[in-house]
Chain A
Amino acid sequence: MHPALSVILLTTLLGVGQGLFLALYTGQLYSVARLLEHQDSQTFYAVGSALALAFLAAGLIASFFHLGHPERAWRSIACWRTSWLSREVIVLPLVMLLVFLYGLFHYLEWTTPLFTVAGTLPVDATLIIGALATLATFALFICTAMIYASIRFLQEWHSALTVINFTLLGGASGFMLAAAFSAFIGVHLVGFYATWAVILTLAALLTRGASLLRNHRLRPRSTLQSAIGVRHTTIRQIAQGAMGGSFNTREFFHHQPGRVIRMARAGFLVLVFPLPILLLGAAWGLSSEVLPLLAFLTQYLGLLIERWYFFVEARHPQNLYYQSIA
């Protein structure tokens, strides 16, 4: 597939935003459970939410660049029954709304407990909104990933691993950002978030690795034989009926040499996984405030490449019809 920048940005930015929100809410849950110290609603949660919202909004904006007619984007909520894209379009604003409310409540410090569960856990509005937002965030991960995973012709994508990877990688990058954010504003959650970031990154390494392996082993379901319905071991295309290119050669081909693709794979495997972890380790060792940010940026850069590779790796069966010109 052709890796469109808008889609790469869209999926990675949303991932960061969603991950960051999850990190904030995880932090809040820990502190409600008194496993972590309490953070300031305004400076930490509200600002953090704003940051998450910014990423989500950036993702949303990026998505518009993918549309031929962004002014009609509203129409895309119509088919939520069947279309994961439609569902994403519905869930994304919902996530943004909930994250916004979550941030707003924190900002307005409407955090008076509404009731107490089991006598020990005070539940305030933010906790409820956060819970809803968490659900929505996971739903969004699923929707976004299912856009890709649901296309069964794209065998590289058509797998639960796609959903898991999107979720874990989004989570990892969000927690990574949370660590950087914590370091930046000087709260003591760097270690907490860094630990989770490392755990998520390692988990993602496993699942992303698994998908690489899976894709490596995939045998395309469709062949030239099934594409044109001729049974013979040797079939070659000579002409595709258009010599100056067509939508089919632009949208479904990456036109990248193998060398570049291999470099990209190595690149993202280094940038997404070991390097940020090392940087976090170094940050911990050096108690640096900038290294966590660097770790996040490194990982995000890696994710851009990862997403690029995600597209490049996917071989669309239509490509069988577009092999040669003459």
Chain B
Amino acid sequence: MSDIIVLAEQQNGKLANASRNAITAAKALAALTGGGFDIAVAGHGIGDVAGALGGYGAATVYTVDDAALAHYTAQAYAQAFSAAVEASGATFVVAAATSIGKDCTPRVAARLDAGMASDVIKIEKEGGTVLYSREIYSGNLIGRMKINTDIQVLTVRGTEFAMAEASGGASATQAVSASIEGVRMTYVGLDAVESDRPALTEASVVVSGGRGLKEPENFQKVLEPLADHFNAAIGATRAVVDAGWVPNDWQVGQTGKVVAPNLYIAMGISGAIQHLAGMKGSKTIVAINKDPEAPIFSVADYGLVADLFEAVPELTSKLKAR
């Protein structure tokens, strides 16, 4: 038994990379509490992923394998995960702030009568109390929270905790049964955004476009050649997602995805506070905008005041020629 448990996420038997960020957060927490950590995984036919999870240094990997978990639903998975937490006796529960983590983890907290902190960016301990930092007011302020319940639940922001690498060894495994009941929801299907590019939250380079691109076709004509050069993921502002130019899944920001790549290139993006909240943790930021007063320049390491329709093709061809 460890005092910390990670709720790992798998889809079609494959571990979500964000769960490896959560493992790192659990290790950071373990360093503060002096304990170890366990991992829970739920699904149907999850032997392989449970085996793979055994290589990350957890004392025990708890598995909840049930036909009712063949597809993710919040109601069923909350029951599975809370059963695993109870079996482990853990007092800290850590999950990734992915769409599944955000959807399911509060329900787990409710079942455990636990307080929860969402999208945590830093974990500290002061005078025996664990404090969780979170961004609030579009990232204008950072609030430190404490949780008063016996069990403390958190989701963590992937950009703030590195992706754990398997370190070898094998954890003990323990099957937990959850007798899932009362589920009144059914998974129908996923209309997936097909892409050969790296995932937005994992790419080392992100090239993002905003309304300055003028027309949806310019994502392909102007932005994509630059993104191709870097094998970059593509991001976008809310404005162009709302306009239907690009998939919803590409929105970077306070209410979209938070990214922190090595290099973030923003073109035709004004830099509204809600956008900055999703990318200002990037290592190097480049902004290309024709308005010298655009707020994006306040976070850009390198700002180029230019018409993107001239500057971006020039940048792409000169990079290719190097």
Asked if A and B are interacting partners, one says no
Interface residues in chain A, defined as those with a beta carbon under 8 Å from any beta carbon in chain B: none
